[in-house]
Chains A and B, each alone.
Chain A
Amino acid sequence: DIVMTQSPDSLAVSLGERATINCKSSQSVLYSSNNKNYLAWYQQKPGQPPKLLIYWASTRKSGVPDRFSGSGSGTDFTLTISGLQPEDVAVYYCQQYYSTPPWTFGQGTKLEIK
């Protein structure tokens, strides 16, 4: 199974500043035949289900604000929130869909306002 490890477990960022969340997979999730990274990012606010933010590691879902961006390849990935807003307070998860089953998630990163 591919193990997904996020860092940090929690972080506090000032409003308007940049938040960076890292995700590392235990093996590459890059499929060489199509050069796509099989990685997604989700946002979960308290009492709500997770919401998809990004897929293919860097493709933003329609309607997601452009302050959210994903980057990385192979085993190392980053979710960046540029210009943190109060509504961005949430837990963020990465997930791989390269080697399934099982579909595996990172442990989550809790983002708060400093």
Chain B
Amino acid sequence: QVQLVESGGGVVQPGRSLTLSCAASGFTFSNYGMHWVRQAPGKGLEWVAAVSYDGSQTYYADSVKGRFTISRDNSKNTLYLHMNSLRADDTAVYYCAQVPFLEWFGGWFDPWGQGTLVTVSS
């Protein structure tokens, strides 16, 4: 079945960088757009970034634009989120999620990975 497994979270100081990974299996990864969604402790869901099936198109939330970069390696079935200039308000669980349509990144999110916690603190 479809499985998404995030990794790379941890504690990082403000201003530093971190890269998250999402390993995908159970489906043809290169055919689907992918997203990152985050959830601050005790808060709701916030969409972060999207990448098209081939990596040629990317979109970002205003809150992370210019600091975060989403990318993918279809040969490794892996999605990435490179996070620079991290701030305390970036502290959250980061989820990767698939969208349902071939070669498009629109739609709902299903499934989601289990998430990886990023804590930005000195």
Contact = CB atoms under 8 A, between A and B. Distances in A.
A101 B115 contact: no
Interface stretch (A20-28, A71-79, A92-100): A92-100
A18 B97 CA distance: 30
Given A101-B59, A104-B47, A49 B115 contact: yes
A103 B47 contact: yes
A36 B91 CA distance: 36
B109 A101 contact: no
Size bin of chain B's contact surface: 20 to 34
B103 interface: no
A105 B44 contact: yes
B44 A93 contact: yes
Contact of B106 (A52, A97, A106, A107): A97
Nearest to A6: B44
A101 B61 contact: yes
Interface string B59-78: 11110000000000000000
Contacts of A108: 44-45
B26 interface: no
Contacts of A55: 100, 107-108, 110
Contact of B107 (A97, A104, A105): A97
Interface in B23-57: 35, 44-47, 50
Interface of A: 40, 42, 48-52, 55, 61, 93, 95, 97, 100-108
20 contacts: A42-B45, A49-B95, A49-B111, A49-B114, A49-B115, A50-B95, A52-B111, A55-B100, A55-B108, A93-B45, A95-B109, A100-B106, A101-B47, A101-B59, A101-B61, A102-B62, A103-B47, A105-B47, A106-B44, A108-B44
